Amino acid sequence: MKEVKIYTIVSDQLSPPITGESFCTDMVRHSDYAELEAKYAVLTVDNDKAMESLKQADSAVKLAHEKFSALAAENAGLKSAFDKPQAYLSWHAIPPTWEDALPCGEYLDVHDDADHKNSDGTDCWPVYAKPEIKTPATDAFLAEVRAQGVELFAESQKEYVRKNRNELDSMTRAAYCGSAVDAERFAAELRKGVNQ
């Protein structure tokens, strides 16, 4: 685009005269103005596309943040579930009254206190119970990772057929394509299984 020149003229010399604005008025030629309008129209379309892309990116960031927050909450719940041991275990030869002898001739002893020592002076170890915590965000995340891996396999099968179409007989092509279809179906089942 050529350079647009800006002209200055005394305001009251315009037809019709512009009064009350200022002593001078900046102007451009009509042909330059038309070119500026055309460029503005193109920039407006580009700006609209950019704004739409930004909205989509913003939505994607919000969704990622929601998933991240859900995963972080589940992770915090799991960590707190393992914060304190349920009991302390030790092996020793003195049988507790409530436990049967083990095949090796030793007995399992359970203590509630971390500082408790067995009567023979040996240490005991903390036991953490598996928490019964639901982790839907983690399950969905892992299902998505697995499904994407399966889809990559399906795509690799299709790509192999595309690249080697002329060298493969019809049965082999069908086998590769069939495994790709089965893999895509399995990926969908992985995703669906979490949502049920």
- HEC readout, the chain: CCCCCCEEEEHHHCCCCCCCCCCEEEECCHHHHHHHHHHHHHHHHHHHHHHHHHHHHHHHHHHHHHHHHHHHHHHHHHHHHCCCCCEEEEEECCCCCCCCCCCCCCEEEEECCCCCCCCCCCCCEEECCCCCCCCHHHHHHHHHHHHHHHHHHHHHHHHHHHHCCCCCCHHHHHHHHHHHHHHHHHHHHHHHHHHC
- pLDDT tens profile 2-24: 677 887 878 777 777 776 667 77
Summarised one tens digit per residue, pLDDT across range 128-161 is 666 677 888 888 888 999 999 999 999 999 999 9
Give yes or no: residues 35 and 108 share one domain.
Answer: no
One domain for residues 2 and 76 = yes
Check whether residue 61 and residue 109 sit in a common domain: no
At 84 the pLDDT is 65
Question: What does each C-alpha distance from 42 to 34, 35, 137, 150 come to in angstroms?
Answer: 13, 11, 44, 43
19 lies in the same domain as 78: yes
For the chain, the domain total comes to 3
- The string of pLDDT tens digits covering residues 42-67 is 999 999 999 999 999 999 999 988 98
Asked if 1 and 77 sit in the same domain, the reply is: yes
Residues 66 and 97 in one domain: no
Q: Enter the tokens of residue 102.
A: 């083990």
Same domain, 2 and 77: yes
Q: Are residues 116 and 104 in the same domain?
A: yes
Question: Is the same domain home to 87 and 108?
Answer: yes
pTM for this entry = 0.47
Q: Please report the pLDDT score of residue 111 as a whole number.
A: 55
Q: Are residues 108 and 184 in the same domain?
A: no
- Looking at the fold, whether 76 and 4 belong to one and the same domain comes out as yes
Range of the domain at 73: 1-82
